[in-house]
Amino acid sequence: MTLQELRSKFLSELAVLYPTNEIHSFFGLLLSHRLGLSKIDIALKPTIEISNDELDYFLYAFAELQKEKPIQYIIGETEFYGLHLKVTKDTLIPRPETEELVDWILKEEKKKKKVEKIKELNILDIGTGSGCIAISLAKNIHNSKVSAIDISKEALAIAKHNASLNNIVINFIEGNILDDKTHSKTTPKSAKFDIIVSNPPYIRELEKQEMDNNVLENEPQLALFVKDNDPLIFYKRIADFALINLCENGSLFFEINQYLSADIVNLLENKGYRTIELKKDFCDNYRMVKATF
């Protein structure tokens, strides 16, 4: 089978599930991952013959796409803030909104550098998953010491691999931020944290009906959902932890549920945070918040 024939098969048979531009994207990612072919190669070399072994792989990927399995899980990797990361069923697939959160933190730190001498920054990422936030911050803030916590051993194994893959040293901690024992082993032994950041579970069970099957049936539920009767449980506990463990003028950053932005602001105000800033994502939804006390 030639490259052109394979592409025609993808386009014709996946059209009932995905828009054309997304199918082209899937096809390009698979060819780049498996054969190292660029978009230009695909356009200029349509008669390349696909070997039987490689064809088996593409047909497997095709079958997984028909099951609506995310392409990132099929190829086992993704890109986040210019970094290559491994992802598996034990980690969420990093989202563009989370890249925006990282970008916001980096811009805020850049502004601080212009007005004051910055010491080594002590940073904590709570609920690190694939390690995308922690690794991106460590990679881009050179005077930083980064720790990252997650409840999942499997996710931490992936995060450690990703840190090594990107030549970054992170202090990884296994624990549940809702557990006081985890608080004690996460509390810094010397300097307090300058930045605490978290993208915790924040989707209510009632919002499942709004979500795509490829997310519901593939991504880790533990990292996505909270109970309808206490949707801010992680924000409450992390905000309490940050009150004790942030240094003076330190910042707490959250990725948030767009439907609960006002509730989160009220929560932070009631806990004594004095400066609270909401920020919209590229879809014009309130998706991030920064707080200091």
- pTM of the model as a whole: 0.93
DSSP 49: B
Backbone angles phi, psi at 118, to 5 degrees: -95, 125
Instruction: Tokens for 151, please give them.
Output: 């409840």
Q: How far is 70 from 182, CA to CA, in rounded Å?
A: 33
pLDDT value at residue 204: 95
pLDDT value at residue 118: 66
Give, for 290, the enclosing helix (H) or strand (E). Answer: strand 286-292
pLDDT value at residue 115: 64
Q: How far is 260 from 191, CA to CA, in rounded Å?
A: 33
pLDDT value at residue 144: 94
3 state SS of 269: helix
What is the DSSP track for 53-101?
HHHHHHHHHHHHHHTT--HHHHHTEEEETTEEEE--TTSPPP-HHHHHH
Q: How many CB atoms within 10 Å of residue 62?
A: 18
pLDDT value at residue 241: 95
Spans of all domains in the chain: 3-67, 89-292
pLDDT value at residue 242: 96
Task: Give the mean pLDDT per block of 10 residues along the chain (293 residues).
Answer: 93 94 95 92 89 94 95 97 97 96 96 74 97 98 94 97 97 93 76 94 93 90 94 97 93 97 97 96 97 92
CATH architecture of 89-292: 3-Layer(aba) Sandwich (3.40)
Question: Pairing between strand 246-255 and 203-204?
Answer: unpaired
